[in-house]
Amino acid sequence: MGSKILILKRKDQSLVAGTYSIGVFGFKGVTKFNISVEVKDINNNRQKVGEHLNASSQVDSDSVECRNCRHYISSRTIVIHEAYCIRHNLVCQHEGCGVVLRKEQAANHVHCSKCGQAFQQGEMEKHMKVFHEPLHCPCGVVLEKEEMVKHQSLTCPLRLIVCRFCGDMVQAGTEPLDARDRLRGLSEHESICGS
């Protein structure tokens, strides 16, 4: 149905030599899948902030922007390109998208009404279930997945922390009553344990 790409960069601090495991889980029933691994060096010639454009990143002076897909095409072939492009391609009008689609694929290209992310039509149900269905935290808070991850790692009173004073693994608890302890970033337990 869909495809996913995982890009690991050499500069990534969490990247270490060793074995990587990939788990594939079907959303509904049996799922067929293909996995391929590719190692390649990507030279990024994009302009960086504060740098001048280099010759390879400049648009050729003989190029003209296509009125449909907005790609720069050689002025010698722009008429043929535009005739073909307008007849066969559409540009997604969703704000911030602008992806160029074949006309026969355009009906399958949809955006989430809550977050705006683009998908194929068949992936929308899974996206809504995984990312936008309310989740219940044991502390009583109800949030969508992305906010729940933040809540459980940063603010949930039931999250486990290592106390900086006694070294025990304890529940963080609510914010401490003392304003100075809140400014120091102490949990409720640490406020009591370290005072």
What is the predicted pLDDT for the residue at 51? 39
Q: How many residues does the chain have?
A: 195
Helix/strand/coil for 74 = strand
Between 112 and 30, the more confident residue is 112
Residue 54 has what pLDDT?
Answer: 40
Residue 61 confidence (pLDDT): 78
Nearest to 108 by CA among 124, 132, 131, 128: 124
Please tell me the predicted confidence (pLDDT) of residue 20: 78
* CA 9 – CA 16 distance, rounded (Å): 11
C-alpha atoms less than 13 angstroms from C-alpha of 11 in its C-beta half-sphere: 2
Q: What percent of the chain has pLDDT over 90?
A: 54
Whether the predicted pLDDT of 71 surpasses 80: yes
Q: What is the pLDDT of residues 137-178, one digit of tens each?
A: 999 999 999 999 999 999 999 999 999 999 999 999 999 999
Q: Report residue 56 as tokens.
A: 């390879």
Bigger pLDDT: 2 vs 177: 177
Domain ranges of the chain: 61-132, 136-193
HSE value, Cβ hemisphere, 13 Å, CA-based, for 173: 17
pLDDT (tens digit per residue) in 33-58: 888 887 766 554 443 433 333 444 45
* pLDDT at residue 135 is higher than 90: yes
